Each structure stands twice: as structure tokens, then as C-alpha cells.
Amino acid sequence: GRVRVPTNFVTTISDDRGDEPRFAGKPISDVMEKAGGIGDIVSLLWFKRTLPTWATKFLEMVLMLCADHGPCVSGAHNAIVAARAGKDLVSCVASGMLTIGPRFGGAVDGAARNFLRGKDENIPPFDFVEQAKKAGIRLPGIGHRIKSVDNPDKRVELLIDYARKNFPSTDYLNYALEVEKITTAKSGNLILNVDGTIAALFLDVMKASKMFSPAEVKQVTSIGYLNGLFLLSRTIGLVGHALDQYRLNQPLYRHQQTDVLFVNEEIGYVDEQ
């Protein structure tokens, strides 16, 4: 028989041999004919399946709504400072991206794991919040620096509205909103934030589409798929901010000394040298 030389690489998502590239086994001409948008491409290359249209449209909403949130957030700030230091586009975007993590934009996977456990183990929302408090953990997907009950996050409202109208069920979202009732009773800014909303709704996508085994659900919430959605989306804004700074020909940024509290550990606050 034929003997295959052992390979150093294994891949399961795409293939560029033959006449045309294939995404998850599908020739791209087929993909282009059938795909409604970028959600279908994410669906094939990340999830290796064709998700239903109500789900790919949800992915697209996430990608559109999270593309930017102004110049003051961690990622944009870093990209802007890097651009003003004369760095190239890739470096500026990388600098911004590197801020995406458990506090900023990268709480989606953690929130999904938590809501999955809370809902599936029937943990009453009050106990869910108390358990985190006892463990000294900030609930991923809850809380925002400037958004609150009195200043709601439009992105969250739009995602919820879409899901209510288009998802077959929203059990995880409902659970997350019960959790939000408990946390916002403590403080108005402890809302279900955009990361938490994406997390709960993607759990609903997996459950309602019936296309994910329990093992796959576990995997999706543990290896970075969902933070990847924020990362992909926010890259659009990061590129935009770097280009904006180049266009504006902005000088090197140096932070105002008056905005820094200079403290000498021995003598305390130092007003002037």
C-alpha cells in the first residue's frame, strides 16, 4: 500500500489545494453563492458548520456593534498612543488588541462558562452572585465603567431585542438578566454588559440550534471562540483609530504630569520636586 510521510501539521478548517480554496470542505465559489455575509464565513472557519441564518445574523450584529466604542477605551487609547509614537499600522492594532482581556472585551468566555454553570446547575441567581462574592470574584459579563441602569448600553438593548424576535429560545439570556437584577440592586453600574450579553446569547445559539454537543459547548466556552468575536470586531475600530491619527498628523503623545499623583513611598504625596 501507499506509505504517507508523517506530517508536521494537521488542519481541519481549510484547504487551498485544487482549483479553489475550501472553507470547512466547501469550495469558496459555493460559499460565496450561498453566504449571506461574514457571519457565514466565521461560522465555517471557526465552528466548522453552517449555522442557521438567525445565528449568523446575530454574529454579524456582534461584529458590527462592537467595532468601536470611542477613543477613550483601553484598546483605542493604546492604538492612538502607538500611532502618535510613529508606529506602523500592524503595531498600533496589536498594541490595542493586547488590552483585550478579562476586564476589557475579553470577559465573554468567562461569562459564558459562568452562565452555563449557573443555569444548567439551576443555581438561583441570588446564590450565583453570592458565591462569586464569597470567592472574591468579579462576575465576568457584569459591570461597566460608564454604562448603568440610568445610562443603558444601546448595544446590549439591540442584541437583546434581536434575540427576543429571532431566537427560538433565550433561556441563558433570561438567566443572565435575573443575575443582573441582583447585581444592579447592589449598584446601578453592575449591569449585564456587552460581553455578558454576547456570552449568554451565544449559549442560546448553541442550545437553540441543536448543533452543538455538550462537549462542544464546553469547548466553545473554554478555548477563546467568544473572546475572538470581540477581538475580530474591535480590530475594525483599532485600524480606524490608527488611520485617523496618521491623517490628523498628530504629534508624539506625552501624558500630562498634572494628571499623575507622584508619590514617594517614604514621604508620601510629593507636590513638587
Question: Which positions lie near ligand ACO, rule CB under 6 A?
Answer: 103-105, 107, 138-145, 187, 190, 193-196
Of residues 70-89, those binding ligand LMR (CB under 6 A): 73
- For the record, the C-alpha cell of 61 comes out as 450584529
Q: Quick one: how far is CA 145 from the chain centroid?
A: 17
- We find the least distance from the C-beta atom of residue 96 to ligand ACO, in angstroms, to be 13
Residue nearer to ligand ACO on the CB measure, 54 or 104: 104
- We find the least distance from the C-beta atom of residue 129 to ligand LMR, in angstroms, to be 21
- We find the least distance from the C-beta atom of residue 149 to ligand ACO, in angstroms, to be 14
Q: Which residue reads 441570588 in cell numbers?
A: 126
Q: Does 176 bind ligand LMR (CB under 6 A)?
A: no
Residue nearer to ligand ACO on the CB measure, 39 or 140: 140
* Nearest residue relative to ligand LMR (C-beta): 69
Question: What angle is formed at CA 4 by the lines to CA 3 and CA 10, rounded to 5 degrees?
Answer: 160
- We find the least distance from the C-beta atom of residue 74 to ligand LMR, in angstroms, to be 7
Q: Which of 42, 47, 58, 69 binds ligand LMR (CB under 6 A)?
A: 69
- We find the least distance from the C-beta atom of residue 146 to ligand LMR, in angstroms, to be 6
Q: Does 194 bind ligand LMR (CB under 6 A)?
A: yes
Q: Does 179 bind ligand LMR (CB under 6 A)?
A: no
Q: Does 145 bind ligand LMR (CB under 6 A)?
A: yes
Q: Does 154 bind ligand LMR (CB under 6 A)?
A: no
Residue 87 partner contact from ligand LMR, ligand ACO, none using kind-dependent CB cut-offs of 5 to 8 Å = none
Assign 3-class secondary structure to the chain.
CCCCCCCCCCCCCEECCCCCCEECCEEHHHHHHHCCCHHHHHHHHHHCCCCCHHHHHHHHHHHHHCCCCCCCCHHHHHHHHHHHCCCCHHHHHHHHHCCCECCCECCHHHHHHHHHHHHHCCCCHHHHHHHHHHCCCCCCCECCCCCCCCCCCHHHHHHHHHHHHHCCCCHHHHHHHHHHHHHHHHCCCCCECHHHHHHHHHHHHHHHHCCCCHHHHHHHCCCCHHHHHHHHHHHHHHHHHHHHHHHHCCCCCCCCHHHCCCEECCCEECCCC
Residue nearer to ligand LMR on the CB measure, 73 or 142: 73
- We find the least distance from the C-beta atom of residue 70 to ligand ACO, in angstroms, to be 11
Of residues 91-110, those binding ligand LMR (CB under 6 A): 104
Residues that bind ligand LMR (CB under 6 A): 69, 73, 104, 145, 194
